[in-house]
Amino acid sequence: MPGNPEEIKMVSNAMANVPRRKMMAFLTGGEKTVAEIGEAVGKSMLDYHLKILEQAGLIEVAEGKVRLTEFGKNFMEGKKETPAEKADLSGAKPVEIAEVRQLLPCIADTTKLRIIANLAPPLGGALKALEPLFPRGRYSERIGALIIQRGDVLTTLYGAGNVTMTMIKDESEARENLQKLKETINEAIARGVAPAPREKVRVEPMEIYKYLPQTNCGECGEQSCYSFAIRLMNGEVSLDLCTPLKDPKYRQNLEHLQVMAEYI
């Protein structure tokens, strides 16, 4: 069972991809043949995706048949929603934005800021119930965070209370956005019920492109970073094919793209 940081990272990378998440969900129904998985999820890069899941210890592949490992089963069990996690704000307390702890240059546009703040008390799993408040809000089970996009600004609220906000013009814009966020959340908490789901808005390729290395090096098999962004958005390729992103200088870009991949 994965336990050390490197193994945990492999699991995290394996699950940071839509086709692979679909494969895992499909396999919760029991053992399947490779052909059945291809029919259900798509044949594009099927062997590659299976290999990544196998290397992460989530599945076993033998004689053309695929099944979840014990770890894979436990992992998927942990992803199931429990009734208590659904749309329940009854235990949530009104929040305050405690502080803006850091102001850093934004990775996609150095004229903009990246802020790290704190939301107290932490909302934990109640964040999930708040997802429908934001047209471009998405709760990620994988990272335990609510991700909200508004214009260029991407806000990530983690269950533990920390908040990151990127592409902010200045500190006063950051404080204004945080104040609005706090008011929206506290109104929902005061009502005690989760809002009705709203239609979700997709991420545009240009938003992904902004965080790619933009070198058009072709290592991913695409002629340009922009065409990679389009195929990534369509779920046809996975982020780990852009190997330059593994360079430490792109660490923040990769983190940001992994968050955005939750929308895809």
Name the site residues for ligand SF4 (rule: CB under 6 A).
212-213, 215-220, 222, 225, 228, 242, 244
In the complex, what is the shortest distance from the CB of residue 230 to ligand SF4, in angstroms, rounded to a whole number? 11
In the complex, what is the shortest distance from the CB of residue 220 to ligand SF4, in angstroms, rounded to a whole number? 3
Which phi and psi (to 5°) does residue 228 adopt? -65, -40
Looking at the Cβ atoms of 108 and 220, the one nearer to ligand SF4 is 220
Distance linking the first and last C-alpha atoms of the chain = 28
In the complex, what is the shortest distance from the CB of residue 216 to ligand SF4, in angstroms, rounded to a whole number? 5
In the complex, what is the shortest distance from the CB of residue 100 to ligand SF4, in angstroms, rounded to a whole number? 32
Looking at the Cβ atoms of 54 and 219, the one nearer to ligand SF4 is 219
Looking at the Cβ atoms of 105 and 218, the one nearer to ligand SF4 is 218
Looking at the Cβ atoms of 86 and 251, the one nearer to ligand SF4 is 251
- Contact indicator for 119, 109 with CB cutoff of 8 Å: no
Name the strand (E) or helix (H) holding 116.
strand 113-120
Residues 6+ apart with CB under 8 A from 157: 119, 123, 127, 145, 146, 147, 148, 163, 181
In the complex, what is the shortest distance from the CB of residue 19 to ligand SF4, in angstroms, rounded to a whole number? 18
Looking at the Cβ atoms of 207 and 222, the one nearer to ligand SF4 is 222
Looking at the Cβ atoms of 158 and 209, the one nearer to ligand SF4 is 209
Whether omega for the bond prior to residue 121 falls within 30 degrees of 0, making it cis, is yes
Dihedral angle of Cα 13, 16, 18, 20, to the nearest 10 degrees: 30
In the complex, what is the shortest distance from the CB of residue 263 to ligand SF4, in angstroms, rounded to a whole number? 18
Best CA proximity match to 128, nearest among 56, 76, 79: 79
Question: How big is the CA angle at 197 (ends 196 and 200), to the nearest 5 degrees?
Answer: 150
Looking at the Cβ atoms of 42 and 213, the one nearer to ligand SF4 is 213
- Contact indicator for 250, 244 with CB cutoff of 8 Å: yes
In the complex, what is the shortest distance from the CB of residue 88 to ligand SF4, in angstroms, rounded to a whole number? 41
- Spell 153-166 as b/e; 16+ CB within 10 A means b: bbbbbbbebbbbbb
